[in-house]
Amino acid sequence: MIIDVNVYLSRWPFRRLPHDDPKSLVRKLRQRGIDQAWAGSFDGLLHKDLSAVNSRLVADCEEHGKGLLVPVGSVNPMLPDWQEDLRRCHEVHGMQTIRIHPNYHGYTLDSDHCNQLFQAAQDRGLNVQLVLAMEDTRVQHPLMQVPVVDTAPLEAVVKKYPRLPLIIMNNYVAVKSGQASDLAKAGNVYFEISHFETVGALENWVQAVPLQRLLFGSYFPFFDLEASLLKFQESKLGGLATSAIQAGNAERLL
């Protein structure tokens, strides 16, 4: 069984991606043996009406990937009615996970806005997926220069919310293994593997953080789905460790 915690629906704003149509995306996921995919929406980056974004996401998951796609809501604490967006994600759509993009939405991890969001998510028993980056800063559109999220305040923030499952996503080496180890000790922090690019990366990360804190993620369709699957072919991890990363750890979060 494989649970992919890092999938996006809709269209990347700056170019077309292969499989950015939901039918094609679902077909590819099933062909490659993905049993469950936690899907957010690219629309959550720049749209202001996140209630509509999340409603469309739920409808697309139901229509095109029922039983496979699990909708993950977008919440922007800089918007005036973000608490209602969070409530609808949880109470109306039955979501167990939300996905946040602080660098696109204009707040820092040590801001009051972020603290209020983390507190509200913890109170509701939700998982929070913290996306550190969406693309390499070297290839960004010149009018859309978006830096990687500053993770310096993260350990202090994590300690405030020990019951909050926080999933670090798209880690473009913003959090290195040493800091990751400290974060895993400080709170309920997880790391998905889509951006683990070095040879032996899985083994290195298993040494840095507890095995139970690693999750399978592909960042599909922005990244090729096969890229994350191939990490396990070159890995020397045993079967139990592989199954924990590919599915077991995510199952426990749900």
Per residue in 113-170, pLDDT (tens digit) is 999 999 999 999 999 999 999 999 999 999 999 999 999 999 999 999 999 999 999 9
Distance in angstroms between the alpha carbons of the first and the last residue of the chain:
15
- CATH number, domain of 134, equals 3.20.20.140
Q: Decide if pLDDT at 174 tops 90.
A: no
pLDDT at 223 (0 to 100): 98
Determine which of 71-75, 182-186, 198-202 has the lowest per-residue pLDDT on average. Answer: 198-202
Contact 219, 171 (CB under 8 A): no
- In DSSP notation, 185-209 reads HHSSEEEE-TT--STTHHHHHHHHS
Q: Decide if pLDDT at 249 tops 90.
A: yes
> For the residues 199-216, what does the mean pLDDT come to?
92
Query: What's the rounded Cα separation, in Å, for the pair 135 and 249?
Result: 26
Q: What residues make up the domain containing 126? A: 3-253
Closest to 42 measured CA to CA, from 9, 86, 82? 9
Count of domains for the chain: 1
